[in-house]
Amino acid sequence: MTSIQDLTARELPVWCPSCGDFNLLHALKTALAGLGIPQENVVLTSGIGCGSKLPHFVNTYGFEGLHGRGIPVATGAKLVNPALTVITVAGDGDIYGIGGNHFMHTMRRNIDMTLIVQNNAVYGLTKGQYSPTTRRGTKTPSSPNGSLEEPINPMALGIIMGATYVARAFAYDIQHMTGLIKSGIAHKGFSIIDVLQPCATYNKVNDVAWYRRNVYRLEDEGHDPGDKPKALEKAMEWAEGRIPTGLFYQVSGKPTYDQEATNHAVVNDDISDIDIRPLLAKAK
């Protein structure tokens, strides 16, 4: 049985004190241990950003790719070996910005993988510029007069574009977040868990106290995640004291892309008689 200790890597994170990434790391390891998935069957992919170092800190297979490109790597891993549990971890700028195209089309395909987004509403690694989820009017180094753009709505996008598990967590509600991540990983289909978390260094507006004042749990109000119109209505809700967290939408039984695209696991192909020397010779 895989334990949290088994999943703890030798390399230690160096995030800023009180960063929500610490809580997310703990929640992910707790969820994986609770599901009992063998370490060798888990692949974590990421792009570039503060939180994208996370695969270094979990003792599973991991791949840190290019900015915004964690999902294509995850897609390749899942198509080659559908038996793998594939998880992408990305920041809001990473996945909703430069990686937005991959994000949209992977949801449309309903690939059986989990996307966990570290949403701190800034580009933390590059000194706090505004990101796709920054509130309109926010002043940052790249928007000194206030951002002119409306923020992206990941929950609404997830519901509309075909994701079959759409959830939002708050990084300082650790038990709740852990449960959402665990259920998302167990779900058959594309899961997105958008994690609201503070960036203590660069986002002085959306701090822990601000989130605690404004978030609430959908399940506390009896929300039915099988009700798509209601889920979309909740996804559009963002007001003082009314920022919903929890499972917005879930549908089961929808075919996944990896099921329909592969007749067998390529990883099991016999390559004992494959000679790549001619190919290498051409590359010289």
* Overall residue count recorded for the chain in this entry: 284
For residue 262, the model assigns a pLDDT of 74
Orientation angle between helical segments 20-35 and 174-186, nearest 10 degrees: 50
Domain positions in the chain are 4-283
Mean pLDDT taken over the chain = 91
- Residue 251's pLDDT band, with cuts at 50, 70 and 90, is very high
Nearest in space to 118 (alpha carbons), one of 162, 171, 72, 67? 171
* Cα 222 to Cα 280: distance, rounded to the nearest angstrom: 60
The pLDDT of residue 18 is 87
For residue 242, the one-letter residue type is R
Residue 129 has a pLDDT of: 77
List, as one string, the DSSP characters of 102-117.
Answer: HHHHHHHHT-S-EEEE
Q: Is the pLDDT of residue 263 over 80?
A: no
Burial class, 90, CB count within 10 angstroms (exposed 0-12 / middle 13-18 / buried 19+): buried
227-265 burial: b if 16+ Cβ within 10 Å, else e:
eeeebbebbeeeeeeebbbbbbbbbeeeebbbeeeeeee
Contact assessment for residue 45 and residue 88, using Cβ atoms and an 8 Å cutoff: yes
**Under CATH, to which class is 4-283 assigned?**
alpha beta
Tell me: pLDDT of 148 over 90: no
Q: Please tell me the distance from the alpha carbon of residue 44 to that of residue 57, in angstroms, as a whole number.
A: 10
Residue range 216-246, pLDDT digits in tens: 999 999 999 999 999 999 999 999 889 999 9
